[in-house]
Structure 1
């Protein structure tokens, strides 16, 4: 599956804001620089705008051509480097400002000590003097902020973007839609009310619940109809459940008019209204003596309907048809988030009789509520034997499972990886039934779901569609889940701090608005609340597979024995503490590799070192901390650092981690003092440490951090133990 597009992982607006800030810094410095430096500053101010421009253009390119993907990859690398360099300018400013303010505060403290017995007037004078000194010192900062090395780094980045910009026109021509033949719209997902030949398994409770809701007449409702929604992730069986219930009510003739409308991404009010006009009416035949009553359905298709372009006229026709009838309307696969469209579609339904129902299926609870749902059925994956029976039906086809006992065992292991998804079972089963042989099934077992070859109507493309409907700011937040193991319980405030650290949430965004990111992902069925644990969330298993496929190696985990190669494009790494030395060696080898190989140490932006769980095996603290110190030495692009090893301790010299925003050392049991270098991390935004350390060192932390960092640091309470219970 293609990696995430450029516009989805780095907002050009964010880059533009950084460029604007750096241009302001450079302009402030201009008059204080020597002539050769002024030439550099002029070049920078005139060309920095190319960075967001190139990123914005590149984000619009959609292609499967390998050479194009490679070119887009080079843009992505250059963009990350640009962020680091631009961010470094910000750091230099805060560094000089903090040092100057510290000097002023020290002088003010000496002044106050000498004059401690003076009058209130004298103290006021000292305070005014101190304030003036601070203001003067900040003005002086503009003369000393940036070295030639800083300017040269920025110029080197600009040269990369100059080259990319010069290639841009050629690539835009290659992917220009005018140069391509128009293709047919993919219609594989269009559904009807008819049941297929596949035997439907399970869903008895949900079927009973839905039937009961459809039979109810809600006398309290002001409208003659009520809206029911079936909500769940792609491929969980929403449509199959509804088809079974729809067929039941069609057979018994409970409703006078029934209409099955496939909606999908285009919520065309006129099209859907016309299809309701064309729906069938129920005819109930009286019971003959000694016989049974019979129900039949007659179509009432208007020959002139397709020629009518006036929505008002179509709705008037539907009004006459619905007048006094009890109606069931199914809207399958709804994505509409415009309440005005929904209200317009439903206007004719006010002329139906009481007890009418509208049932919609959607992947999003938010969509369900926008489209008027008052009752919501949440559909999860099939469980236990029901799912295993469905999986075997898909994998063995017409063969008898009992004839292949070894394959049944392998199939049970495979089924456990599919989160109860009927469509995932169909996807994997289609591959398995090609060869009912043990070696083939074992090979499939070793693959991740997204590594299995799939067609457009399989599970991963269906899930990918959900991802593509996410707003860009949520896409990059969602893909970050690929860094963590499945079933990892994410605490909401920690998750927000990590997203902030990478710029997915801007630092000026309030906490209230930041929490909406989590709520939106929850409403859109990408995450769910963790069981029995407040303020914690878990990613749906199959959507975790999707995040991994989109990440394409940028988010990588080493959970067990070190038997994998770290991808060359990795930027976020989750590693078991027992493997940290091997990771360190791998990072060093990348530095010593071929010239064209990426330097993994310079690229890494997240490092999460999880606890080691092997019983009876303990890593000597000295060994671990020596390796940790060596590993951190060159990780100058880190934004997130999590150390969950109980014997781990931060090295004294961590001031080189100039980009670090989030630090978690809550699991360290030997952390008793704060390295002074911590107070030189001027970009630090979030910090977690052990509770007893937080109590003992809290005053010192608050004193130094509030004085020396760019903004107030949020010191979070220690992580609950249960957060790690699913770490592997």
Structure 2
């Protein structure tokens, strides 16, 4: 397990480069500059290399020469990303020059540095050098006998003999699974009324690697009651390759174990039709139990084919028990709800640990070691394989310092054998689609037990160019949701709450260890133990500002990310900023939230690759240098909570790539003429701008999806005309005490079309006595309505029941609200209702006894606070 894993990102990097080179915009731009032929050659070589990368990734583990080849390739790929990025920067500048062509002010100065001919020859030289390097490395691919695999099928085919399971288990080896066993046996023996030949009951056990799914299946398989119930029992380890033909052979051999198994080579000569007849004869009229252990196949067609071929033979009441790590596979195969395996209790974990760390009874002689063992077990978070891994590594070792070493070290730093916890979890990682591997690795930049929200990871993944989608119309938000759903399905996330537009989640403890392990060549979370920063690190995260210290003695010019996940509290980051500008010219992400610097260097405008810049909650900064507006690649600018900021920088309209903008400013009016140029702006947050009187005049923001306005005390009106904001989906208004919420009544006559809001939130608005009339417009689109801290809200209108798509209704701390609309039971789509801090209303909605209960009892999730 010492082998470096960063090469597993390499396929997705190649894919993103090829996609970029093939895009229409890129090809057009390269023609204009006269670099089309150079880039076409580069793309050709890239495609040749990409074709063998998947095979190389799978074969690298035991081949150091191949690992080195992949490392060299990755270095060329990253340089290619930087060169293509620079080319895009220049293209964006050209676009800007066209748009601002007539403005003489600072635009000419803006471009004086970029002599188009000089730029062309510089780029041509860089691309030639890249192509040369790539050709040189690519030529070596023939040395390794690599196969061409064009598509990442998401499944790594490998014969890993350590994963081949069998059905034997000793009951004394199983601790803390009695309850699970009883539940499964009950399911297996249940007489279903619809038990006939047409229905074959399939029961999935699902959970993360190392949780004990196979052990539990063996525990059930070997129970005497199961023996009596099923005359024929078969155990098949499916593992990686879901080949129908091979599975038939395995099932037939497993059925024949009682007699002599059929010779393998004879079966290999037989066609599928004959195999099917043979299986039909074996199963004929028998009530059977078939265990399919360790399934990774997510191809429904293959599964349905196998199921249909199996179910033609057996008697009613036959069962299939499936173990898998992946939720979506469990639900595809299962005919009943999946049995989700939970972690072991601390007591059971300790019993299991003692069993593996000591000979029987030996622990009584070493109570001090058992005490250290209790601490070690906490690291394992109830995952039996982790407990067994660490317990067996200490077997017959009685020196306290050896036990303390295991207690004080990260699991991923400890030696691991083939069947131990990290290799088991790493298998889950190997099976991830290539585009998810890099996204997953970046979780290692955050501390253990960190509470994530989907917006935060979306910003990071997006700024690093990791959100690719084959679908043209997919938004970054849709792609992030899809990625998180896939990771959740594989048990890589926990405590997952989906609020529609945003999700909250955590990374399980051991999965975080896995992220640290696979990312260790590229990502570093700097803490008090960090001595120095290795040269190859691309992504840096500082657990605390104090750890910045001497870390930057390294030559790591390639750094692309610097973040402070817990904030750079107390940090005057001027020297860090100067280092960034002088050394880290390739930075994509710079997040300095909670820092205390008073100024930013003008030279920040040189960080032309920067996509993401935040100084959120800096309480000292008064001005931003106008040079920040030279960052045409910038997608995210966050100055939210910078309460001393006098004004936004001049030239804001030049940030033509900006998608997300958080603003706090002392200005009374937004610079409309600038804001209107931000045609890509999708999310705008305006907060603590106490002087701001109006937000939009006649500004058009065609891409705006989210508007969040908070703590703007002077704000009186907010004009949202659907023709100017056709894509607006989320509107949140917080503590704007003078805002008239009948937002645009004076414009109502002129307006055409209706707003398509999906989420609406009102919080801490004492002026709100009734919901504004215009809300009726959103009857067909609104999915989530949240009202909180509105002290004077007295009534919810009857027309609320026309909200046909409303899924979430959250009402909190509205003490004067005492009733719900009469026909609230018409809200058929409503799935989530939460009412707290409304004493009288809570009393009337109490389950089973309140007068309104009958109207809301149909809702799936109802939480009513006790009065």
| TM-score of the pair, normalised by structure 2 | 0.66
- C-alpha separation between the residues in 1 aligned to 2:164 and 2:172? 17
Contact 1:556/1:572 (8 A) holds in 2: yes
The equivalences for 1:55-70 within 5 A come to 56=50, 59=53, 60-61=55-56, 62-63=59-60, 64-66=62-64, 68-70=66-68
Which of residues 540, 553, 556 is equivalent to 2:524? 556
- C-alpha separation between the residues in 1 aligned to 2:71 and 2:513? 22
* Cα deviation, residue 196, structure 1: 3.1
Which of residues 254, 261, 275 is equivalent to 2:229? 254
2:163 counterpart SS class: coil
2:422 counterpart SS class: helix
Unaligned runs of 5+ in 1: 31-40, 108-133, 178-183, 282-296, 591-598, 721-728
Residues 480, 54 of structure 1: CA spacing in aligned structure 2 closer, same or farther, 3 A cutoff?
farther
Contact 1:665/1:688 (8 A) holds in 2: yes
Residues 310, 269 of structure 1: CA spacing in aligned structure 2 closer, same or farther, 3 A cutoff?
same
Aligned pair 1:501/2:505, yes or no?
no
- C-alpha separation between the residues in 1 aligned to 2:281 and 2:709? 65
Which of residues 16, 20, 30 is equivalent to 1:14? 16
- C-alpha separation between the residues in 2 aligned to 1:701 and 1:652? 23
Residues 351, 26 of structure 1: CA spacing in aligned structure 2 closer, same or farther, 3 A cutoff?
closer
1:28 counterpart SS class: helix
Residues 685, 650 of structure 1: CA spacing in aligned structure 2 closer, same or farther, 3 A cutoff?
farther
Deviations 1:14-50 (A, max 9, x none): 21244456564343134xxxxxxxxxx5884575336
- C-alpha separation between the residues in 2 aligned to 1:317 and 1:68? 45
- C-alpha separation between the residues in 2 aligned to 1:247 and 1:197? 9
Which of residues 43, 47, 62 is equivalent to 1:49? 43
Aligned pair 1:712/2:681, yes or no?
yes
Residues 706, 426 of structure 1: CA spacing in aligned structure 2 closer, same or farther, 3 A cutoff?
farther
Residues 675, 250 of structure 1: CA spacing in aligned structure 2 closer, same or farther, 3 A cutoff?
farther
Aligned pair 1:586/2:551, yes or no?
yes
Aligned pair 1:155/2:110, yes or no?
no
Which of residues 564, 567, 576 is equivalent to 2:534? 567
Contact 1:688/1:715 (8 A) holds in 2: no
Structure with more relative contact order (C-alpha pairs < 8 Å, separation 6 or more): 1
- C-alpha separation between the residues in 2 aligned to 1:539 and 1:373? 29
1:312 aligns with 273
* Cα deviation, residue 274, structure 1: 4.2
- C-alpha separation between the residues in 2 aligned to 1:218 and 1:197? 29
Deviations 1:206-234 (A, max 9, x none): 22322222222332577432211111111
2:289 aligns with 328
* Cα deviation, residue 607, structure 1: 0.8
Residues 718, 82 of structure 1: CA spacing in aligned structure 2 closer, same or farther, 3 A cutoff?
farther
Aligned pair 1:489/2:451, yes or no?
yes
- C-alpha separation between the residues in 1 aligned to 2:672 and 2:191? 61
* Cα deviation, residue 343, structure 1: 1.7
2:183 aligns with 209
Which of residues 577, 600, 605 is equivalent to 1:655? 605
Residues 637, 373 of structure 1: CA spacing in aligned structure 2 closer, same or farther, 3 A cutoff?
farther
Contact 1:641/1:664 (8 A) holds in 2: yes
Moved more, 421-430 or 624-633: 624-633
* Cα deviation, residue 555, structure 1: 0.7
1:603 counterpart SS class: coil
The equivalences for 1:472-551 within 5 A come to 472-506=434-468, 509-510=474-475, 511-530=477-496, 535-551=503-519
- C-alpha separation between the residues in 2 aligned to 1:695 and 1:2? 42
Residues 529, 702 of structure 1: CA spacing in aligned structure 2 closer, same or farther, 3 A cutoff?
farther
* Cα deviation, residue 365, structure 1: 0.9
2:75 counterpart SS class: helix
Which of residues 536, 543, 549 is equivalent to 1:576? 543
Residues 390, 6 of structure 1: CA spacing in aligned structure 2 closer, same or farther, 3 A cutoff?
closer
1:2 counterpart SS class: coil
Contact 1:333/1:360 (8 A) holds in 2: yes
Aligned pair 1:73/2:23, yes or no?
no
The equivalences for 1:220-259 within 5 A come to 220=194, 223-249=198-224, 253-259=228-234
2:229 counterpart SS class: coil
* Cα deviation, residue 330, structure 1: 1.0
* Cα deviation, residue 244, structure 1: 1.1
Deviations 1:483-507 (A, max 9, x none): 2222222211321222121121138
Contact 1:643/1:664 (8 A) holds in 2: yes
Deviations 1:312-356 (A, max 9, x none): 233234334434433221111111122222222222325434332
Residues 51, 673 of structure 1: CA spacing in aligned structure 2 closer, same or farther, 3 A cutoff?
farther
Deviations 1:661-707 (A, max 9, x none): 23344443456655433333222223445369756559748864662
Residues 303, 15 of structure 1: CA spacing in aligned structure 2 closer, same or farther, 3 A cutoff?
closer
Alignment RMSD: 3.8
- C-alpha separation between the residues in 2 aligned to 1:160 and 1:532? 44
Residues 530, 672 of structure 1: CA spacing in aligned structure 2 closer, same or farther, 3 A cutoff?
farther
2:173 counterpart SS class: coil
Residues 513, 701 of structure 1: CA spacing in aligned structure 2 closer, same or farther, 3 A cutoff?
farther
Contact 1:7/1:55 (8 A) holds in 2: no
1:683 aligns with 633
Residues 390, 688 of structure 1: CA spacing in aligned structure 2 closer, same or farther, 3 A cutoff?
farther
The equivalences for 1:341-490 within 5 A come to 341-347=302-308, 348-398=310-360, 400-490=362-452
Give the paired residue count: 638
Residues 104, 373 of structure 1: CA spacing in aligned structure 2 closer, same or farther, 3 A cutoff?
farther
Aligned pair 1:609/2:579, yes or no?
no
Contact 2:211/2:341 (8 A) holds in 1: yes
Residues 44, 410 of structure 1: CA spacing in aligned structure 2 closer, same or farther, 3 A cutoff?
same
- C-alpha separation between the residues in 1 aligned to 2:8 and 2:282? 50
- C-alpha separation between the residues in 2 aligned to 1:363 and 1:525? 7
Contact 1:688/1:718 (8 A) holds in 2: no
Residues 198, 54 of structure 1: CA spacing in aligned structure 2 closer, same or farther, 3 A cutoff?
farther
1:3 aligns with 5
2:380 counterpart SS class: coil
1:629 aligns with 577
Contact 1:92/1:145 (8 A) holds in 2: no
Contact 2:526/2:547 (8 A) holds in 1: no
- C-alpha separation between the residues in 1 aligned to 2:220 and 2:487? 29
Contact 2:358/2:395 (8 A) holds in 1: yes
1:121 aligns with none
- C-alpha separation between the residues in 2 aligned to 1:555 and 1:303? 51
Which of residues 83, 86, 110 is equivalent to 1:85? 83
Moved more, 222-231 or 334-343: 222-231
Deviations 1:148-197 (A, max 9, x none): 256435524532541452354346315669xxxxxx94422222222137
- C-alpha separation between the residues in 2 aligned to 1:705 and 1:576? 35
- C-alpha separation between the residues in 2 aligned to 1:236 and 1:263? 18
Contact 2:7/2:71 (8 A) holds in 1: no
